[in-house]
Amino acid sequence: MLRATKRPTFQWGKALPVIFIVALIVSLYSIYMAFHIVPLWGLGSSWSPLAADRTTAFAHTIVFHVFFVLLVLCYVQVVRTEPGSIPDTGEWDCLVDEGAATPPAEGQPVTQETKRSGQRRRCRFCNKWKPDRAHHCRVCNSCVLKMDHHCPWIYNCVGYHNHKHFFLLLMYSPICCLFVTVTMVPTAWNSIEDEAPFVVMFFLLFGETLSLFLGVVTAGFLCFHIVLVSMNMTTIECCEKRRSGAKSLWDKGCVGNWAEVLGTNPFLWLVPFGPSPGDGLKFVSESTRLTADLESSRLGKRRIKRDNKGGLDGSLLISDGSLWPGGVRGKERGVYGPVGGATRPPSVARGHEREDPQASANPGGGRGGEVGEIGVSGSPAGGGGGDGKCVRQFAISVNH
């Protein structure tokens, strides 16, 4: 029997991309502060490509550090936060051989995604049943809940519990980089015109080029993930649906899709804090919402054709769980006990019966063919004409 595997220990080789990203962040921060912010404050060396402007320096310093701190927080959070894995509980343990078509046993979670063969999805590496939207990552050696993709730049998978941090990282990265690019353009241009020292000119142009490149690249990824979040899809699901041409199974509408990633509290949407809504094991799909709508519609109203010949050929009115049988004829539906020319199906239990006093005085009279919501008036079998009217009312309950 296959054994469930654990996440691997820290490996320096796979952590090199993270070290590289940290070096880029430190480099851009140092260049921007040393060759743009400090000269704007009138500090540092006697040579400066810009005249001291404390108002501009104060504005650039505050805005830059706000976005920079948010970027660093998002990066730390997305690296250190586990994306979510299948819990080590008995309900997710898979104790069958590979290929066995076993339906979920009693007490086991029911999933909606299946294999192409119709079998329940299972992980042959972790030896567990897969929840909806979960996939196995060979790099992390674990099944990841709502897996988006494995990102080597964060040495982690993007999954259910760190998807928000990753999205905010993509949002603040282009904002911060493009802010550096735009605000540092006058500084770099003046360094070229004034023939600044080579070191100053080199670092300014290097910082401009690097920040512009990173800003454009991360902005492209941000646009792609904005589309995915709006449709409630992951990168893996997008690749799968693109081949099949199907839409997202988990679409909740624009607001619901964004709330699933950023959380239910709008005040925490732009900061990398706050718990993820739900547990990442169960998701609401279009089929589950349709089932709920069908269940609620059973308590709604239904109409069945009315007989135009004076009788009530199976006319029913269902409202809020109450059923009124309007004379289903015995020769057409079978006789379940005639009452005033009408019959009842076996699923309807007859309640108390009350007779109008006037009807007892004139048992033979009546005008047929009148139907009320809770009553039926009609001529009794064998009755004649007259001004009398026989009204019978029934309290009827539906056996579900």
- pTM value is 0.68
- Determine, yes or no, domain membership for 292: no
- Determine, yes or no, domain membership for 184: yes
How far apart CA 210 and CA 201 sit, in angstroms, is 14
Give residues with Cβ within 8 angstroms of 139, minimum separation 6: 14, 150, 152, 157
Q: Both 124 and 31 in a single domain?
A: yes
Provide the token pair at 372.
């009320």
Closest C-alpha to 173, from 33, 56, 57, 272: 272
* Least confident stretch, 35-44, 111-120, 375-384: 375-384
Q: Is the pLDDT of residue 358 over 60?
A: no
Q: Both 68 and 182 in a single domain?
A: yes
Q: Is the pLDDT of residue 5 over 70?
A: no
The 10s digit of each residue's pLDDT in 268-325 is 999 999 888 888 888 876 555 544 444 445 545 444 444 444 444 444 433 333 333 4
- Determine, yes or no, domain membership for 4: no
Give me the mean pLDDT over the 130-139 stretch.
93
Confidence of residue 350 (pLDDT cuts 50, 70, 90): very low
pLDDT value, residue 144: 96
Active-site annotation holds for 238: no
- Determine, yes or no, domain membership for 172: yes
* Least confident stretch, 28-32, 72-76, 225-229, 337-341: 337-341
**Which among 2-11, 42-51, 112-121, 384-393 has the top mean pLDDT?**
112-121
pLDDT value, residue 26: 97
Q: Both 114 and 30 in a single domain?
A: yes
DSSP-assigned beta bridge partners for residue 156 = 151
The active-site residue, picked from 140, 151, 157, 390, is: 151
Domain boundary among 248, 268, 288: 268
Domain tally, the chain: 2
How far apart CA 44 and CA 34 sit, in angstroms, is 8
**Which among 14-18, 38-42, 53-57, 167-171 has the top mean pLDDT?**
167-171
Q: How many CB atoms are closer than 10 A to CB 379?
A: 21
pLDDT value, residue 38: 92
- Determine, yes or no, domain membership for 6: no
How far apart CA 71 and CA 65 sit, in angstroms, is 10
Domain boundary among 268, 293, 312: 268
Q: Both 260 and 307 in a single domain?
A: no
Q: Is the pLDDT of residue 157 over 60?
A: yes
pLDDT value, residue 21: 97
Closest C-alpha to 157, from 82, 220, 225, 221: 82
The span from the first CA to the last CA of the chain, in angstroms, equals 45
- Specify whether the CB–CB gap between 36 and 56 falls below 8 A: no
Comparing 46 with 243, the larger pLDDT belongs to 243
Domain coverage including residue 54: 12-268
For helices 254-262 and 163-193, angle between their N-to-C axes, nearest 10 degrees: 90
Comparing 243 with 261, the larger pLDDT belongs to 261
- Determine, yes or no, domain membership for 224: yes
Mean pLDDT of the chain: 75
